[in-house]
């Protein structure tokens, strides 16, 4: 009887501290989704001339809010919530230190709040603050320093989240030296390896160029360089909402359907291929940029075609 009760214990019962973090991250994610959706509807109504809710001067502020809240805030908050659940559940152990877990969540929340405030302030002319630079935010468009600082803080928080999961995995490995890493944890760590690689480029762009430029410390920046650094991040960001979906497709849906995953090794290969092929393809967003050699554009195109393989597995 006790074994049956134990088997029926839910994630919330077994890992209550982690469950609260998951809940907070997912609520933040869906709050960002709501904001982004509202701004998307406002933008659509304005662009199609169905309803002019905003003055045309605020159009790009609305577009920036829509992009940042949907692409960055909604996606990454959902990712950290899902991945906290996946690591804890698949390793069947709590995270190393829940205080660190709440710390990275708080850092991410503060960072996105800073960025959000800088965007929304653009609706109020009395405030000397705006960030109508779209979610791409590369030069020559310039935002208020708070926008860039918030993005940097948000990214740092996500890096700490990844370190939290890696530390938990290493603790599990010490106790289970001969066991294969659980599939969900493998997917999480592979995705975070991609996140570290991709986000390092946009972090360098923000900290070395855009933030000092907006603060007046440097007079000018190279637009092609900031654009290239962004798209090194901007293409893989697509996979930060796709790979959590793959995690659910491969590990949750088969159980819901009453079946099993066709091939555990093949699922791992998919994530490794995404890691290897998705980061060096951002230049395919820059085919018309004159400052990039044709050879790099050809390599990017080739790698983009190779991505068809893991996408269809």
pLDDT digits (tens, 9 = 90+) for 187-216: 999 999 999 999 999 999 999 999 999 999
Does residue 280 surpass a pLDDT of 80? no
Query: Residue 146 sits in which domain range?
Result: 2-312
In which residue are the tokens 């919530």 written?
Answer: 81
304 burial via Cβ count (<10 Å: 0-12, 13-18, 19+): middle
Span 213-270, pLDDT tens digits: 999 999 999 999 999 999 999 988 888 989 999 999 999 999 899 988 989 999 999 9
247 burial via Cβ count (<10 Å: 0-12, 13-18, 19+): buried
Helix axes 145-175, 98-120, angle to 10 degrees: 160
- Percent of the chain whose predicted confidence (pLDDT) is above 90: 82
Span 89-127, pLDDT tens digits: 999 999 999 999 999 999 999 999 999 999 999 999 899
In which residue are the tokens 């390092």 written?
Answer: 200
pLDDT of residue 64: 97
CA angle 96, 19, 181 (to 5 degrees): 50
7 burial via Cβ count (<10 Å: 0-12, 13-18, 19+): exposed
Which letter, b or e, does each residue of 49-79 get, where b requires 16 or more Cβ atoms within 10 Å of its Cβ? eeeeebeeebebbbbbbbbbbbbbbbbbbbb
Residue 181's alpha-carbon distances to 158, 184, 271, in angstroms, are: 22, 8, 14
What single-letter DSSP state applies at residue 48?
Answer: T
CA gyration radius for the chain?
Answer: 21
Q: How many domains, the chain?
A: 1
pTM over 0.85: yes
Biggest alpha carbon–alpha carbon distance for the chain: 72
pLDDT of residue 311: 84
CATH of residue 211's domain is 1.20.210.10
Which residues are CB-neighbours of 270 under 8 A, at least 6 positions away? 246, 310, 313
Residue 6's alpha-carbon distances to 3, 11, 14, 84, 108, in angstroms, are: 5, 11, 9, 22, 35
242 burial via Cβ count (<10 Å: 0-12, 13-18, 19+): middle
Which residues are CB-neighbours of 70 under 8 A, at least 6 positions away? 32, 33, 36, 37, 40, 135
48 CB neighbour count, 10 Å cutoff? 8
Residue 252: name the closest of 85, 111, 22 by CA: 85
Tokens of 193: 């390896």
């Amino acid at each position: 009887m006790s074994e049956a009760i134990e088997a029926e214990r839910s994630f919330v019962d077994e890992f209550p501290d982690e469950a609260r973090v998951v809940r907070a991250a997912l609520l933040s994610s869906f709050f960002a989704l709501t904001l982004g959706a509202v701004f998307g509807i406002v933008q659509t109504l304005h662009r199609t001339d169905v309803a002019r809710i905003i003055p045309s001067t605020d159009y790009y502020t609305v577009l920036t809010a829509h992009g940042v809240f949907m692409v960055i805030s909604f996606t990454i908050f959902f990712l950290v919530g899902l991945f906290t659940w996946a690591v804890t559940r698949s390793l069947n152990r709590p995270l190393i230190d829940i205080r660190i877990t709440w710390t990275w969540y708080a850092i991410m929340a503060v960072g996105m709040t800073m960025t959000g405030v800088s965007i929304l302030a653009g609706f109020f002319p009395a405030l000397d603050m705006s960030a109508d630079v779209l979610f791409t935010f590369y030069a020559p468009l310039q935002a208020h320093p708070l926008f860039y600082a918030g993005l940097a803080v948000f990214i740092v928080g996500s890096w700490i989240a990844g370190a939290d999961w890696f530390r938990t995995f290493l603790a599990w490995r010490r106790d289970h030296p001969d066991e294969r890493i659980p599939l969900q944890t493998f997917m999480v760590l592979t995705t975070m390896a991609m996140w570290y690689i991709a986000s390092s480029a946009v972090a360098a762009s923000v900290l070395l160029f855009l933030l000092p430029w907006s603060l007046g410390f440097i007079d000018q920046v190279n637009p092609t360089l900031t654009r290239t650094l962004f798209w090194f991040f901007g293409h893989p960001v697509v996979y930060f909402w796709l790979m959590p979906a793959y995690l659910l497709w491969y590990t949750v849906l088969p159980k819901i359907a009453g079946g099993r995953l066709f091939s555990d090794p093949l699922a791992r290969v998919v994530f490794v291929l995404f890691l290897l092929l998705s980061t060096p393809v951002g230049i395919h967003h820059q085919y018309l940029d004159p400052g990039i050699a044709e050879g790099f554009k050809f390599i990017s195109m080739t790698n983009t075609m190779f991505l068809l393989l893991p996408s269809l597995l």
